[in-house]
Amino acid sequence: MNEKPSVGGQAVIEGVMMRGSKGVATAVRKEDNTIELKVEKIIPYTKKNRFLGLPIIRGFVSLLESMIIGIRTLNYSASFFEDEENEGNTSKFDEFLKKIFKDKVNDVLMAVSLCISIIFAMGIFFVLPTFAANIFKYLNIHNTVVLNLLEGIIRVSLFILYLFLIGKMEDIQRVFQYHGAEHKTVFCYEHNEELTPENASKYSRFHPRCGTNFLFLVMIISILVFSLTGWNSLVFRIISRIVLLPIVSGVTYEVIRWMGRSDNELSKIFSYPGLMLQKLTTREPDYSQLEVAIKALKAAEGIEDDEEINIVAEEVEASS
């Protein structure tokens, strides 16, 4: 396998977002079967500022940036179907927001969505587990390492349960199919094969650089990092976990980078649990979904595409 620029992305509603050397490309298959393609030329914060590009620090910065881009592309993909379903039906609340924030309304809504997502994730996967693990003290378990281990087990269990439950939703299953299409397409590109649905379909839908791996490793590494803080009051533990989360995510980012570039036995061992979790977060895509992922990857990498039928290209200069 020849060395290629690192390409990654995420599934969106009826589409795929890819982030490559030429920018961020989002391809969405609309209800009329055409593919809408949007390309944003984005310079990562880690490349704008040398300090933000330092190891560990770049991990947390990249996480925040990925969340912002992810929410924006999700909203973009959803807009096609909202427009068709709610055409001409603007609510009073929408009108109120537009009156207050004018052309900044989308930015405000994205910021609110990001804050809600972070609060929800922190509450479910960090606050709740440390609160639940504290119950074991009443069972005469006071060892700090054991309590932190129990907290980690609860956190991972909640994460797996969450993935399992949302995977039962029909709309999410479609998203998971596009997630599989994203992985297969990236694998095909990394193996220097021609980017066609037929070629991409041969590859695994489980990829070591997947966000599922990242989130799982965050939870595992957090057990080690949080153990260093002892087992103090509930308030202290909650604050310490919030404060240490940037370090945990930064370390995890470096581990993921290493896993993506290594092919030794140790990296395979580290990758295995996350790869197995992708059985919950990916589904086998069909050729039409692979086609969408390929369009996104080609645009993100600046690869010429001869098949322009049913594609509307929109190129946007992003300030972020």
Position 93 scores a pLDDT of 61
Position 310 scores a pLDDT of 40
Distance CA 168, CA 283 (A): 12
Q: What is the mean pLDDT of residues 20-25?
A: 91
Q: What are phi and psi of 7, to 5 degrees?
A: -120, 135
Tens of pLDDT along 129-170?
Answer: 999 999 998 899 989 889 999 999 999 999 999 999 999 999
Distance CA 93, CA 214 (A): 37
Alpha-carbon distance values, 214 to 120, 144, 256, 288, 319 (Å):
18, 26, 7, 28, 27
pLDDT band at residue 313 under the 50/70/90 scheme: very low
Tens of pLDDT along 283-295?
Answer: 999 999 999 999 9
Domain annotation covers residue 3: no
Strands 35-41 and 15-20: unpaired
Distance CA 287, CA 197 (A): 5
Position 248 scores a pLDDT of 94
Number of C-beta neighbours around residue 24 at 10 A: 23
Distance CA 101, CA 93 (A): 12
Distance CA 148, CA 299 (A): 45
Position 129 scores a pLDDT of 94
**Of residues 70, 68, 81, the one with CA closest to residue 14:** 81
Tens of pLDDT along 228-257?
Answer: 888 888 889 989 998 999 999 999 999 988
Cβ distance 167 to 281 under 8 Å? yes
Tens of pLDDT along 64-113?
Answer: 898 889 888 988 998 888 655 555 555 666 666 666 776 677 777 778 87
Tens of pLDDT along 185-204?
Answer: 999 999 999 999 999 999 99
Domain annotation covers residue 1: no
Strands 311-317 and 35-41: parallel
pLDDT at 4 over 60: no
Domain annotation covers residue 193: yes
User: In the beta sheet, which residues pair with residue 29?
Assistant: 35
Tens of pLDDT along 46-61?
Answer: 888 899 999 999 999 9
Domain annotation covers residue 2: no
**Of residues 320, 297, 301, the one with CA closest to residue 5:** 301
Domain housing 119: 8-317
Cβ distance 193 to 4 under 8 Å? no
pLDDT band at residue 316 under the 50/70/90 scheme: very low
Domain annotation covers residue 222: yes
Cβ distance 19 to 186 under 8 Å? no
Domain annotation covers residue 131: yes
Position 318 scores a pLDDT of 41
Position 3 scores a pLDDT of 54
Domain count, the chain: 1
Cβ distance 107 to 75 under 8 Å? no
Mapped onto helix, strand or coil, the DSSP state of residue 226 is helix
Position 319 scores a pLDDT of 40
pLDDT at 307 over 60: no
Domain annotation covers residue 264: yes
One-letter amino acid at 249 equals: S
E strand residue ranges, the chain: 8-12, 15-20, 23-29, 35-41, 311-317
